[in-house]
């Protein structure tokens, strides 16, 4: 039984890293800009779509497709920032309006993709191969998700804590008015944060589409769990998203040994409820 538990912990870590990658951008935008980006699921979907197009239509290698998907979704996030975030964010009830504008833009992109691409699920071949060690197995692609996820987490941590830009982000998160007074280029840092969050969702979609298949609905499917992780970890907390994403993945995988898979969502939401009852601001609330 121990070998099965160990295998499921490994499965859970790879599953959880996928959750972390999706939740990371969402929590970053909330933590720094104090807005909820409802187009985040669409960024994820676009990451998957661009990867699919690059690999199956253009015949590009997956690694190049991952890079292109990340860059393209970052660029799309920049456009959405210009069109749907900046013009409304500083108006009356700006944060509420951003929720609506990102929701509308997300819906528009989703519908356009659905109409132009169709509903048929499409497969993208991931990195092939199976790693085996001490009777534990992990596909090479899932191992890649784990490694890339860990590298991205380290990069985000380093950026936030060790760079000038990170300090500016934290200043903006703390108090936008005070940040502006001390010379932080608030608009530029805000846009950069939005682009980074979009790129993170893009690379998440690109990395996970070989696992989940591509349909225009993939963004909607993952975003719900991403919100659960962000709320559980504390809205705006990068550490919270990381810990809760990985923990949720492991909980789901190990839980599958003892609890019927049909209760999977019930397990997730009851965990969220317990966390919110004990710590209403989430496990790591208040810290970026």
Residues that bind other proteins (CB under 8 A): 4, 7-8, 11-12, 14-15, 18, 114, 118-121, 123, 130, 137, 139, 142, 211-213, 215-218, 221-222, 224, 252-253, 256-257, 260-262, 264-265
Closer residue to other proteins, CB minimum distance, 52 or 195:
52
Closer residue to other proteins, CB minimum distance, 130 or 154:
130
Taking the C-alpha atoms of residue 69 and residue 56, their distance in angstroms, rounded to an integer, is 14
Say if CB 168 and CB 238 are below 8 A apart: no
Taking the C-alpha atoms of residue 262 and residue 264, their distance in angstroms, rounded to an integer, is 5
Closer residue to other proteins, CB minimum distance, 31 or 216:
216
Tokens standing for residue 192: 């950069």
Cβ-Cβ contacts under 8 Å for 78 (sequence gap 6 or more): 191, 194, 195, 198
DSSP secondary structure string for all residues of 170-234? HHHHH-HHHHHHTT--HHHHHHHHHHHHHHHHHHHHHHHHHHH-B-TTHHHHHHHHHHHHHHHH-
Q: How far is the CB of 31 from other proteins (least distance, A)?
A: 27
Burial class (CB in 10 A: 0-12, 13-18, 19+), 195: buried
Closer residue to other proteins, CB minimum distance, 4 or 64:
4
Closer residue to other proteins, CB minimum distance, 97 or 113:
113
């Amino acid at each position: 039984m121990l070998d099965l538990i160990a295998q499921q912990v490994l499965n859970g870590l790879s599953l959880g890293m996928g959750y972390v990658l999706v939740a990371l951008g969402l929590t970053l935008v909330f933590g720094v800009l104090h807005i909820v980006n409802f187009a985040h699921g669409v960024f994820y979907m676009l990451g998957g779509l661009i990867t699919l197009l690059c690999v199956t239509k253009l015949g590009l290698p997956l690694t190049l497709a991952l890079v292109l998907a990340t860059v393209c979704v970052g660029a799309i996030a920049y456009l959405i920032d210009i069109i749907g975030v900046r013009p409304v964010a500083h108006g009356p009830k700006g944060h509420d309006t951003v929720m609506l504008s990102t929701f509308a833009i997300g819906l528009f992109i989703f519908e356009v993709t659905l109409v132009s691409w169709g509903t048929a699920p499409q497969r993208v071949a991931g990195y092939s191969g199976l790693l085996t060690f001490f009777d534990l197995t992990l596909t090479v692609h899932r191992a890649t998700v784990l490694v890339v996820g860990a590298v991205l987490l380290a990069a985000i941590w380093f950026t936030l804590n060790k760079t000038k830009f990170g300090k500016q982000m934290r200043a903006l998160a703390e108090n936008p008015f005070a940040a502006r007074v001390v010379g932080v280029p608030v608009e530029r840092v805000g846009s950069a944060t939005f682009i980074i969050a979009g790129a993170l969702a893009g690379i998440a979609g690109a990395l996970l589409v070989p696992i989940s298949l591509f349909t225009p609905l993939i963004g909607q499917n993952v975003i719900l769990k991403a919100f659960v992780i962000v709320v559980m970890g504390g809205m705006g907390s990068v550490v919270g998203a990381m810990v809760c994403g990985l923990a949720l993945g492991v909980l789901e995988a190990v839980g599958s040994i003892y609890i019927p898979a049909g209760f999977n969502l019930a397990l997730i939401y009851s965990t969220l409820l317990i966390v919110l009852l004990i710590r209403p601001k989430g496990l790591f609330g208040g810290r970026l």
